[in-house]
Structure formats: C-alpha cells, structure tokens
Structure 1
C-alpha cells in the first residue's frame, strides 16, 4: 500500500478522536477482517506466574503455547492492563501509567508479518488519519523480512525504518514463555527536523503507539529459544497514546480518558490544574491515573492487603491519598474519585456499575485505615525530616514501618519531596535484627520425626488413593518410622508413621483433614481377631506419598506386611458433609453477597468447617440468615452430586470454580451440585446434599485486611452446638432469674445502667478537675502587652490524677477566665502511681495565637522532653509522654519558652 494513498484518505475521511471512538474503530477494523472480538479479561489473570494482567496477549498465552484451543484463527480485543514496575514515573512523564488499555489484534497460526504490517499501516493512516510524514517504524536488528515489507510493500521511506537491538525490538511476556521479534510504529511530533539521524529515544519528539510482535519462539527457564508449533501475531496499541496523538494534547493525562478525573480531583482540592506548578500537576496526574487502577482492581475482586496484588492495590490507594494531602485535600475523598472513575469507564466496562457498592466500600474502608496511619506516623516523620539534614536513617525508617505502618516506599517518596534519601541498608539491617529477635523468641520444635519421614518419602513412589471408591482396602506396608527413626518393624506401644502402597485413607489436603481409622494385620484381620492393630489418628501427604500416623495397639507390624486399611466411616461421613457444605457456602456467598467472592482458604474437620473468602466488608446478620436459609434449602432439596474427571480447559469452560494460584493437572476432578455449585476439588463428598442434614453458621469475622471468615457446623455437630448454647442460656436464666426470651432485655438494661454510671463518674472527675484548677487562677503571671493594651496571662501548672478529657476541660476553663491573652499549660500523671504515662495540655487565647503561637505545635514540642509527642488545634491541644520523671523539666521549659515569646 503506497504512502500517497494514505494521504488521500487522510484528506477525504473524518477520523475518530474520542477515546471511545478510537477503541471502537480499532475493534471494528479488525472484525471486518475476520477477527473475533474478545471481551477484556480480568486484571486478575488465570496464570500463577504473574500477579496481574500486564499485556493484551496474556489471556491468550496458553493458546500461543499450544496448551489450549484457539478461540478463533484471528481475534481482537481491548484489554485492560496494570503495570507498576515504573510507578515512580507516573505523572512525571507524558505517558507512563499504572492502568492502561491495550488494543490488540491476534493471529493464532493464521496470517503473519506481511498482513499484520499492511493492516497496521492501513489502520494508522486511513482509519486514524495519521500522515505518513509523521510516522517512523522500527524493526529488530536481524529482521530483514520485516524491513523489506515496510520498505517495498508499504512504501515507507528507508530513512524512517530504524533497526534496533533486542532490548527494544524483541518482545517477551516475561522471563519465560512466548516471545519474538517485533516492529513498532512511532508518531513524530516534529517531522520538520528531517529524516537524518533519527533517535527514537527522544521522547519529546517520538511516541511509540503500535507494537507488532511476531510471536514465533518459546523461551524456557534456561533462556533457550525454540520455535512455536505455529507462528503467531500479537499486537498492542496503547489506547491512551493514540488518544494523545489524535486529540492533540501535551500528554496522555490530558485526554478524555483521564482528564475528567484530574478535574474531579482539582475541584476537591479547590485548585486549577492549568495554574498549578509542575509538582501540583504531577499530584493530580497521579490521582487521575491511580483512581482508574484502584477502581478496576477492586472491580475485579482484589482487596487491599500486605501481600501480592492486595499490596499493589494498597500501595496505589495510599499514593492517591498522599498526593491528595499534598494538594490540600484534608478529608476522605476516595469515594468521590471512585464514583467519577466508574462514571468515566462504565460504558466500556459495565461490570463496574454492578460492583459499585463493593468498590466504594473498599475505598472508604482502606482510606479510613490509612488516614489513621498517617495521623500517627506523620507527626514522627515531620520530626525526622526536621532533624535529618541529608538522610533518614534506617532505624527511623524502620520505626515508621514497624510502629506506624508506614510503607518504606511512602517514606522514600516523602523524603524525596524534601530532598532527602533513606538509608536502605540500615532499614534492611533493622528488619533483619527484628527477624533474629523473633527467631530467638520462638519455641524450639523437634524436627527429627519430620526429617525421618522426609527421607523415607523421598525414596518412594506415589501412594495410590482408593478412598473415593472404598473405605477398606488391602495394602502393603512399604515403610515405617518408629519413634522418629526409620525402622523395619514396630511393636505394641510404638508411635509410628506408616507408608502403604495404596490406601483408602484421605490424606490432609485442600482444607480437609486426614481420615482416622485402623490398620489390621494377622489373623482374619477383623478388629476382634486381628493379630496386629494400629490406630491411625492422622493422615498427611509428603509430596505424593500418604503418611499414616498413629500407634501400634497390638502385635508386631513390619515392612512388607499385608494389612487391611479401614477408614472410620463415621468420621469420613462427617468430613464429607462438611466439605460439601463449604461448596454450598461459597455458592451462597456469591449469590447473596457478591458474585466476585473468591476462596482464600478453608478447613474441613470432622465436627466443624471454616471458610475464608475475599470480601472488603463484614457480612451483615440479614445476609447470614439468607445464606443459612439458602444452604438448608439446597440440603432439603436433595441434590445429587455429580463427580467426574475432565480436561482442565473443559472444566473451566463449563464454569467450574478453581482456587487462584493452585496448580492443576491437565485432567481435574470436578464436583458438581447441578444448578448450585461446580468446583475443582480432590476432596471427599456426600453423594446427595440430603446427607448433610442441617447447616448452621456459628460466627462471621475478619481475619485480615479484605479477608472474612465464616465458621459453621453441619450434620450431627449441629446438635452438639445447640446443646452447648442451650446450657449457656439456662445458666444465664438462673443467674438473672429470667426466662430465655427475657435475657437480652435484662443484659441491655444492665449495660445502660453501667454506661450511665461511667458517664456520671466522668462528669464528677471533670468537676473535680475544675474545682482543683480554680485555685490555680491566682498563680497566673502577667507578661508584656497583648493587643488592646492588656497583658498576656501565663499559667503553667501541674495537676495529677486527672485524665486527658478532664485536663482539657480544666485548661479551657482557666483560659476562658484569663481572657484572650491566656497562655495555659497543664501537665500531670493521670495515675500518680504510674510514671510511664504523662498528659500535657495547652489552651491559648486569640491574642496569643495572633502573636504567632499555636497550641498544637507548642505542646507537641513540650512533650518531647517526656519522650512523647502530640498536637491539636491552635487554641487547644493535647500531647502525651512516657517519662513522668521529666514532667517538671518539661513544664519549666514550657514556662521559659512562653515568657520569652510573650514578654
């Protein structure tokens, strides 16, 4: 296709300009050329090798590797992505982002270089209307074929075809996996500078907007390249970059894809983006970029935590709050940014509307938590910054991290804003010292037994599990560990670990506990006449070897013996009921609370079950009632379970739920409660939900940030639970002389009486503090002259035995009596017997504030003498300390400082 044709089209056609139109034009262009449109995959990839979806090709990685069937010979998509590897550049350069959209067209063994290159040129010049004079292309240094296509088929000026090295023009999705040479199209903002000496590294002149990857190799862990079975095409066009080009703005942030969020943040801060300096504009850009990212992450089920993608979300979220405070936003504002982000992106991603309540709740919860962290840590950080001329020490950075929850990255960012660095080596040394202290304090555990069984298991083949079909099975003893040592035989009384060639015992895994039962040998191998009886109390897995732990009750057991392995049927039935109940619980949570809920862990025991799940809020009592009723309804409906093995891709296509991060074989076991639940699971289950009997939720709680836990009982365990609760109710009834229905009312009455008594006691203490402080008025010292001619009134005194609220009331009362020129400082020990807690209060009149003194910073400085700190409003503030022995010195310093300032 000749360049002149493109110029003619550019003159004659109108071209897309808005972000939505650019996206639609790309997808329409390739759909018209036989590409199947694919929806954007989640930011949480079905790939344990990466935390987040970082490229448009990632959802197709199994196809490129030949591990999955291709959805079509050709596909096209607009894929949402997140990258945080260069987060420090966000807002500072024209085009670095965390969240971005990658427009892509893909060929799975269909077309290759020539069509990919010609279509990319046609799209760029005819559909988007870019002039060929503004375009430059790059090719891999060894790719003669691609260069020839650009030069001879497309007609690009050879001076505008640049060969580049592997770092720039050889693409890979990661250290391993599909890869290949690539060719990129750049937009030239300054074509008048000519074609000689083109340097594509010049970001002020060039922007790369379309990358064509010729996916033809797979790289293994050793770095070896092997040809893929099919040559593929993987392309990526940055939506934000193309929007910048077509909308004619200075950077990606000022496009209609992000700028509305910048305007929202600017309005919240009461500033004008166009009038701000570079630092202020950078903060608004960070807020705009990160707001899109955190909204999309939460929408895809990520909750803030200190691990993995949860940590990425928390870090991004806290950067938004931090930059908001730099702009003067001193109140919660993430909910407003979340609302604006949903409104901006809902047309392309309607699921954001469906998840709106979850997104906003997570933003509010995490912002509130971080504001508390900031309030505690910023005071210490301000002191550190004021006393550190060049560098924040590792010990100081670690105290901020360990005591106040300040992430190291945040400390580094704030330090950089003040022209300081952070001693990272010192921080790591402090972290290691803490690890060593924890290690020294840990309880010593004897690992001898585990070491022995590791050694034995490492030399054996995998155990054959027969427990799906039978609870009793003949087996051969392959190995023994007796009292912690490998052995050939074991006698009565010996603690043993037994490895069998095959077993009906379920080995602990997938949250389900191991079976209990017996091994019977000799005689007729019944429990009565067996010559050998080994009670089995637990079964675990060491690699793929099942280890049966128990004790020899009778006879002698030896390696090579044939035994009958018999599972305790009653225990197995209870475990099966509880395991199936956890599947029903997950299905009910998805139906009642949020379809995006995912499992974070579980425990299936004989008498209880526990299910941990990702959720940013507590499940309400009403929701718990609905969940319980729904599960008991499914139980009473007597749904039969269907258990079958199938290919992993077939299971996923059928909708089977998998645990993220779990590694599954090519063939998986699927447990299906038709119409209710379908999960990949290797555990044991009932054959019909009716076997569960009844289900009862015992408790709901939070176990970590964004992780909730439901504890429940099922089957016979419910009766034990109800009997226990009934006994408690009877005891309370006897204690309160009340019927069961009256107990709650009686307890509420007692609580209200206690609250009233505590309130009255607090009032009496405040009155006592006022009464004691009244005698202090006469000790006020007149100093200088306040505005209006009246002298300042200085009063510094000690008042022990008064809590903080009472001391504040007393100080404010004294200041009111002494007038606008009052400077009152009170300090004391709330409990004179406890010299480790000091309270200091300052109350200043308006004339003192006008003279340049503010109660907050002043009392915070005074508290340093007592090993503490604090702050508050200009007229009234409170601080605390840990050294009561220094209180008199602190009060004396306060008096001296005020005299010097007010005299």
Structure 2
C-alpha cells in the first residue's frame, strides 16, 4: 500500500517540499532488507498504529536559533513547547533527514559517525506514553526486523523505576540486559531550559560475549559502553518535564514521546556489514570515489578507506544541503556547507583523485536520494552539480598553494601551529581552520586557536573601522578604544543614551555626557592643544540613528543652547554598549567660535531630507525581500546582508541561481505595486517568541533580545528590525533596480534606488538614450537596442576572424618548427618548446597555444607529445598547452593533464585536463625553462619505462 501525508500533516511539520517515501507492508522477520525497505517498514508499522505520516522537513529549520535540522523532533519543537496545537490524531511518524557536524573529525574513523543521516522517529503529543512506546519499539525490532531478542539490551535513567518495570514485567527483558545510567547518558534536554525528560535506549549486541569453551554467557551484566560490542539503535525520550532558568523541573501539561532511530545504524545491523559506510545508503558513493581514484575499497590501505568513507558521507550531506537551498559562504550554514565540500575535495586528493571529481560522486548520491523518495534532490540536480563543480574549482585554484604553505609550517619544527599562520591559511587560501586543525592533528600538532580567534576579531574590527569613527591617520584605533572606555564609564553612571529618533528628528535639551578627542577624554573643548579633524560627543538623549542593521547613520547638527549662531556638524553616529557616540567636525564650520563642555546642553537636529531618503530605501529593502521570496520561493531566499543609504540600497541574498530578466522585472513590479497601494506600516514591540510564532523574518546569525521591534507591511512583510521606516509605502515614491549580480557562491546582490534618487537615475539614463539616438541617427528609442546589438555582432564577427587568423598563423609557425625541431625518443616524437621568445611572440594566447598544439600532433603522428608554453614578463603570466597522440597515451602511459600540472606547479600555478589534451597556467615566468625541463625528463622516463 502507499500512504501519503495529508496537506494538513505536511503543514504541521514544515512548509518545505515534502519527501514522498512510499510505505509498503511489513517484511518477514529475518529477511535481509534494503535501506528503502527498512524505512518503509518503520513508517508503515506506525501508520498502522494510528500515526500521521509527516514528510521530512528541510535541513534549514524555521527557527533562527537553530543552524540546521539536527534531529527528528526539530519540526515538532513548537508543539512540544506548547506554541502550536498538536495535529489530530496527536501522534506522528517520520523519516527526517538531519545534519550534524559536532563530530565531523570522527567521520570515516568510526563505524557510525556521520554528518548527514536519516532519523526514523515516532512521536506522541500528550497521547500514549512509556508503556506503549516501549512495547511497540520492542515489537518493531523483534517481529518486523527479526532481530533476536537475546541480542538486544536496554538502558534506563537511573531513577526511572517505571521504565525498568515495564522492560522487566511487560516486555520481559532479563534483568542482566537492563542497565541504569545517569543524566549524561539517559536524560534528554532540548537546551538549558525547556522540555526534557528521561530516556530509554535499545542496543543491539554485535558480538555476543562468550565464556569458557566458547559458550555464550547468558547472565552477564551488560556493559553498554562497549562500542565494539554494542550499538545503540533506538532512543525513546519520555518528555514529561519543563526545566526553568534555576534548573527546577516541573511536570508538563502533557506527557510526550519523542523517539529516534538512525537508519544508517539499523541498515548496518540488518544488512550484516561491519560499518554504516558499507550499507547500500553509502557504499555506492564510496565505490564511485574509489573508481575515480583508481583503487578498490576492500583492498585499499586503512587511510585510503577512511578518506573514501569521508567522501561517501560528505557527498550525501552537501547534496542534501544544496537541495534545501543552502549555498556555500563564509558564515552560518553556508560555512558548514563550504567546509564539508572542501574536506571532501581534500580527501579526494588524499586517495589520489586528480582534478575535479565532486560532481561525479554527487551524481551517485543524487540518484540514491531520488530512489529513496527525496525528489527535491532530483529536481535540483543541475544546480547542485553546477554549484559543487564551481565551489570545487574555486578551492582547487588555491589548494596547492595553501597546502604548500601548510606543509612548510608543519615542517618548521614548531610544536604548535601559530594562530597567525592558521588565519593566513583561512583568510588568503580559503582553508577552514578546522581543516588546518585536522591536518595538523594528523602530524601530532595543535593549532593556537586563541591567537586565531584574536586575528579574526582584529579583522572584524578593521572592517568596522572602515565605516566607524573616521579619525585621522592611525588615530582611528585609539578613538575606538577611547570611545569604548568612555562608553562603559558613562553607561555605569547614567544608564546610557536614550534614543528618541523613532518619534522626532529634533531633541532639546540634550546634555553632553562626555567628549573624546584624539583618543583622550576631555572636560571641555578648551583643553584641545591642537585642531583635530573630528571629536566625539556622547549625549544623554539623541534623535540621531546610529549605524546598524545595514542602515547608515544619520547626519545633522548640534546647536549649543543659547548660541543659535554656533553649530557642530554631525558626520557619523555609532552606538557602543547603549551609548550613542556622535562624531562631529572640529573646529566648527559656523561663523562664530564654538566651545563645548561636559554638562552643556545642545539642540540635536537630524538632517530631515536625508533621513526621509534613508527611510524610503530601508522600507524598500523589506518589500524587496518579500518580492524575492514570492518569486523564488520563501524556502530558497534568505537575506545575506544589506546597506541602506540616502542615495541607494543594496540587498544581498542567497539564491539557487541568477534571476532571469523576467523574474527581476516581476520583483520590481511587485515592489512598485505595494508602494502604489499606499500600505501603512505597523511597528510593534513584542516578545521574541511571539514575533517568531507570528511569522516575522529574522536575520540568520543575529542575536536578538527577549523583546524585539517588529516592522510589518500588512499582507506583504513582517521583519525584526530596529531601523527607521516610512509611515506609508506611498512615501517611497518609486523603486528601480539598477543592477543585479553574483558576489560569491550562492549569494546575489541587488542594488536599487527609490524616490528622488531613482528619478535622477532615470533622467541620466534618458540622456544617454537620447545621445545614442543622435549618434546613430535614430528617431525612436526602441531602435537603439537593435542597432547596438547589430554593431556588437559585427564587432564580434571581426574578432572571431582575427582570432581564427591568429590561430592559423600560430599553427603554421609551430608546425614548421615541430617538423624540424621535434626530438625522436624511441618510438616517440616530442616537441616541447617556448613560443614567447620567437619573432611571433604577439601571436600567443591560450587559444592560439591550444590550436597550434593540436595541429602539431596531427603532423607528428600518433606517437607524439607536444607541449607549448608562453610567458608574459610584464604581468608575470605563464600559459601551457599540451596535446598527445593516442599511441603516446596508450602505449607510454603519458597523461597531458599530469604533464601540464607538474609544469604549472613549478611556475606557481595549476591546471589539468584529459589524457590527450590539457591546459594550465602559472605566475612565475622566471621558472618556465625549469618547468619545461621537468616535462622533458618525465617524457624521457616514460619512454624508458614503456617504450624501450
């Protein structure tokens, strides 16, 4: 039979696309089962017992406090917390895909550690409890899966007499097969506070203990901590308490059941293999990787088998993460994905895979996922493969240099890898610090992570310093330090600055709490010994918005009370520990001299016109995000950064691909429709939990207080936001997208303008079009694009003709030289030469080298090797192209990709290709002759070994 979750069940679990697992009738006990059959049997067992089948949720949870879906209970967390009503019937079953990276260093080294895994789970929301969950779990394992009861053992929480009694008296588990364990093993909690409860785990005995003469020991007390003998299969959590901030436990209104059983572990047991990686879930990927590496898993060395298992595991993880919309980046879940891809690439190199390979093993993982019901993976196959290939290519381009540097560091004799070196590898070569730790650990070395974290903190400080406290020269750092020191003191004395800028753009009287100049706190400006370009003032109240949340700071003026002719120009505002620090121009640009002292009062006045433009652009970013989510799908778009200025807005977002012109036009049209509908904005303050329940969008990775500010455009947008906004969308005026493009893997950027800025932009473009019409002698604007396209096509055709002529000239030149200069080495004819030192040096680019090499091989014959090189000393660029005849590849075991790769490495570059054709590049022209000499020796060695 085939059971599908109803629409209500799917929505109760998650809004992500459903995973459609087919469910068939239970299989006979003892039958060797495929993973699909194991999953199907589990789901059907609980469906038959009144459970609603809930599809797997996305690996990206609808919860800003959780990075990834790490357990089967995550989609049901709101129900367990009482934030959402339980479905009817109040019991569910699922096969949930999960990703955990806490034990990533153990992947491949143990039998059953994974990053990606499937958790089979059954759940009760205030319905059945301990007895039924335990009886059903035992029945499933022994009668459906056919596991011998005498090979099972259980654990219970040390004080859970009820669970112990059920196992003994109801299920009939012998006393010596029940172990009582403490809180660290058998008490589950979702965090420091919240739902929790004791749990009971069912273990399978892989290797039965034996006594004298090899007889089975029947009454030995079990040691469930013996991983070589026992494997944990099924965890039954009895969620019956709530833990408060003091650690006090109080009973929940409803007692719940939350269970989890790893599909990979169960498959290992039921398929009779020694570890999870050799099950039908992972072994096909492992075998494909082994084939690409030119080895066989079963006969490979232990280190190679470990790397192959890492590849098998990580390939599943990255494929499913990409399918759920995660894209590689340097933050959050994008960093998890990038780290896994790079570990995957490195382990491929460790087993001898040359060049790109991740896309090929990913194809196997995609096929397996689709066959198991994860159709989302199959639907996104092309973009998954494309994204993996691009990310692998990016990493391979720097990997060689990074590995060389790391090797130098490891061989330096230092007992610890310095944090500075680890940071250089991370920042310059894209080495995740965890990878540096892993490689160093293989040599018995540690990484100074404290120093690494300091380097990271300093980099963030430098980034902030580019826009904050624009002091002169190297005084900026001391300004920031001084301001933080002053802010701490002021905060302790007065409770901080009161921000009033949501309600007014002018505030008086604002009292001066502190003055900072050149890194020093002053009591009065009369103490200034020179004339700094700026000073910083701290006020007790201010209408000035401090830079934050992507929105730039307000500017304006401070007018000392009683001296309206004097003023201070506010250039920038930053908030530090709830203190607003105003950077003002000094000396004052006013006609009368301005003196300011601690305790003075001023009128604080924001530049109203500039604030209006900033507000319009900020509200427009909210509308833009909603439009992107509507066009691309809410589960596929997430904000990755923003900048809101008076002149423009910039919005970075994750996306599975570049938007088409039609989609971008649709986004722009939606935003302008919402603007023209004059929708009012609602701004409310509420508890964070309430905001999330109501569907407010939170910026991933941001830390929020318990009480948050929610900005809502009814039926369009609801976001957590502390920025300033218009009161009605009509005040935005006009929205125009001016550019769109990719800024990193999986991250796109839109720049747009609103109101007067957009009008100015459109007027400028109109002048450009009118100028083109005059130049091209056109009468209609619609004629401009076809005319320009025609000119571009003609220019492209001319360029192709020039390129073709260059290729023909290059081919003729090389053919003549090869005919007279090729070296005979046994059966082989080899022409390995530089082209840039010839009179025709201007001919050479990468295309010309490749074309010339192809023609030379055609002339020299099947037993030929041609490698051409050209260097440009002015930009220190090296180009290499190799072409081999078929007999040279087959009889002499030569490989064009390996030849150019070896040469490029000497020149500080890289590359590769196929056995018969390859190209590469480098950066050090001075070593080009050395590189070519290496290739000549390799060719000669191949002749001696294979050609006689």
TM-score w.r.t. structure 1 length?
Answer: 0.78
Partner of residue 67, structure 2:
51
Partners of 1:784 and 1:456 lie apart in 2 by: 79
Alpha-carbon separation, structure 2, partners of 1:437 and 1:52:
28
Kindly tell me: are residues 657 and 871 of structure 1, through their superposed partners in 2, closer, same or farther at Cα, counting changes over 3 Å? closer
Find the counterpart in structure 2 of residue 183 from structure 1: 200
CA distance in 2, matches of 1:848, 1:39: 55
- Partner Cα distance (2:545, 2:554) in 1: 5
Q: Distance in 1 between matches of 2:739 and 2:64?
A: 32
- The counterpart of 1:536, out of the listed 570, 574, 589, is 570
Contact kept? 2:483, 2:516, Cα under 8 Å: no
Question: Tell me, which stretches of 5 or more residues in structure 2 are unaligned?
Answer: 1-25, 209-215, 467-472
Displacement after TM superposition at 1:270 (Å): 8.3
Map 1:253-402 onto structure 2 (within 5 A). 259=280, 277=298, 289-290=313-314, 292-317=316-341, 332-333=359-360, 336-337=363-364, 339-340=366-367, 343-344=370-371, 346=373, 353=376, 360-371=382-393, 373-374=395-396, 377=399
Question: 2 CA distance for matches of 1:571 and 1:886?
Answer: 57
Q: 1:577 aligns with which of 592, 611, 616?
A: 616
Q: Match of 1:237?
A: 260
CA offsets, 1:387-428, max 9 Å, x none?
A: x99999989999997877566777999x99xxx955755999
Inter-partner Cα distance in structure 2 for 1:376 and 1:785:
38
Distance apart, 1:622 and its partner CA: 1.2
The answer to whether structure 1 residue 549 and structure 2 residue 583 are counterparts is yes
1:631-655 Cα offsets, whole Å, 9 max, x none, are 1111112222223333333322222
Asked whether the 8 Å contact 2:195–2:239 carries over to 1, the reply is: yes
| Structure 2 CA distance for partners of 1:228 and 1:345, relative to 1, 3 Å | farther
Q: Within 2, Cα distance between the matches of 1:683 and 1:399?
A: 36
Question: In 1, Cα distance between the equivalents of 2:552 and 2:135?
Answer: 60
* 1:246-270 deviations in Å (ceiling 9; x for gaps): 9555378599xx8377558868998
**Alignment partner of 1:227 out of 248, 267, 290:** 248
Deviations 1:262-293 (A, max 9, x none): 5588689989xx99626599888666654553
Q: Deviations over 1:334-353 (max 9, x none)?
A: 6745653553454xx7xx64
The CA deviation at 1:85 is 2.9
Q: In structure 1, which of residues 568, 571, 574 is the aligned counterpart of residue 607 of structure 2?
A: 568
Partner SS, residue 708 of structure 1: strand
Asked whether the equivalents of residues 72 and 260 of structure 2 are also in contact (C-alpha less than 8 Å), the reply is no
2:160, 2:447 → 1: CA distance?
Answer: 48
CA contact (8 A) 1:814 1:824 kept: yes
Change beyond 3 A, Cα 1:168–1:519:
same
Q: Does 2:153 align with 1:136?
A: yes
Cα contact 1:338–1:360 (8 A) shared by 2:
no
CA distance in 1, matches of 2:54, 2:912: 56
Contact 2:243 2:249 (8 Å CA) reproduced: no
Report if aligned partners of 2:397, 2:910 keep a CA contact under 8 Å in 1: no
Distance 2:76 2:317 in 1: 22
> CA deviation digits over 1:355-377, x for unaligned, max 9?
86557424422323314644775
Task: Tell me whether 670-679 or 566-575 shows the greater mean CA deviation.
Answer: 566-575
1:3 aligns with none
Give SS of 1:585's match: helix
Name which of 796, 812, 820 aligns with 1:755: 796
Whether 2:492 is the aligned partner of 1:455: answer no
1:221-261 alpha-carbon deviations (Å, 9 max, x no partner): xxx98232336766432141685389555378599xx8377
Task: Spell out, residue by residue over 1:663-700, the C-alpha distance to the aligned partner (whole angstroms, 9 max, x if none).
Answer: 33333332222221122222222222222111111111
TM-score, normalised with respect to structure 2: 0.75
Instruction: Verify the 8 A CA contact 1:171 1:181 in the aligned structure 2.
Output: yes
Residues 837 and 884, structure 1, Cα contact 8 Å, conserved in 2 = yes
Shift, 1:748, TM fit: 3.7
Determine the C-alpha separation between the residues in 2 that align with 1:794 and 1:563: 84
Supply the distance in 2 between the matched residues of 1:106 and 1:783 (Cα, whole angstroms).
76
* Structure 1 alignment gaps of length 5 or more: 1-8, 524-528, 787-791
Does 1:650 find its partner at 2:690?
yes
2:758 counterpart of 1:718: yes
Q: Structure 1 residues 278 and 671 mapped into 2: Cα distance closer, same or farther (>3 Å)?
A: farther
The secondary structure found in structure 1 opposite 2:751 is strand
Q: 667, 687, 693: which is aligned to 1:627?
A: 667
The corresponding residue for 2:706 is 666
* Secondary structure, counterpart of 2:235 in structure 1: strand
Q: Please tell me whether residue 162 in structure 1 is matched to residue 179 in structure 2.
A: yes
Deviations 1:159-195 (A, max 9, x none): 1112446654454556888766543221335665533
Match of 1:703 among 743, 755, 767: 743
Task: Give the length in aligned residue pairs.
Answer: 861
The structure 2 residue matched to 1:465, chosen from 499, 503, 512, is 499
Separation in structure 2 between the aligned mates of residue 71 and residue 384 of structure 1, nearest angstrom: 54
Q: 1:496 to 1:67 in 2, by over 3 A?
A: farther
Distance in 2 of aligned mates of 1:539 and 1:687? 23
The answer for the alignment partner of 1:198 in structure 2 is 222
Alignment of structure 1 residues 22-37 onto 2, 5 Å: 22-26=42-46, 29=49
Moved more, 505-514 or 394-403: 394-403
CA offset digits 1:65-93 (Å, max 9, x no partner): x8968869976564542212334554665
Distance 1:853 1:233, change over 3 A: closer
Match 2:543 to one of 504, 511, 518: 504
**How far apart are residue 22 of structure 1 and its match?**
0.7
Distance 1:867 1:367 in 2: 23
- Kindly state the Cα deviation for residue 505 of structure 1 after the two structures are TM-superposed: 3.1
**Structure 1 contact 116–233 (Cα < 8 Å) conserved:** no
Equivalent residues of 1:295, 1:341 under 8 A apart:
no
> Is the 8 Å Cα contact of residues 648 and 665 (structure 1) preserved in structure 2?
yes
Q: Specify the SS of the correspondent of 1:185.
A: strand
Equivalents in 2 of 1:892, 1:289: separation in Å? 42
Supply the distance in 1 between the matched residues of 2:404 and 2:653 (Cα, whole angstroms): 39
CA distance in 1, matches of 2:574, 2:485: 15
State the secondary structure of the residue aligned to 1:453.
Answer: helix
Name the structure 2 match of 1:475: 509
Answer yes or no: is 1:446 the counterpart of 2:462: no
Measured in 2, the distance between the counterparts of 1:20 and 1:11 equals 13
* Alpha-carbon separation, structure 2, partners of 1:868 and 1:648: 51
Instruction: Tell me if structure 2 keeps the 8 A contact 1:766–1:809.
Output: yes
User: Cα RMSD between the aligned structures?
Assistant: 5.4
Asked if the contact 1:811/1:842 (under 8 Å) is kept, the reply is: yes
The partner residue of 1:96 within 113, 119, 128 is 113
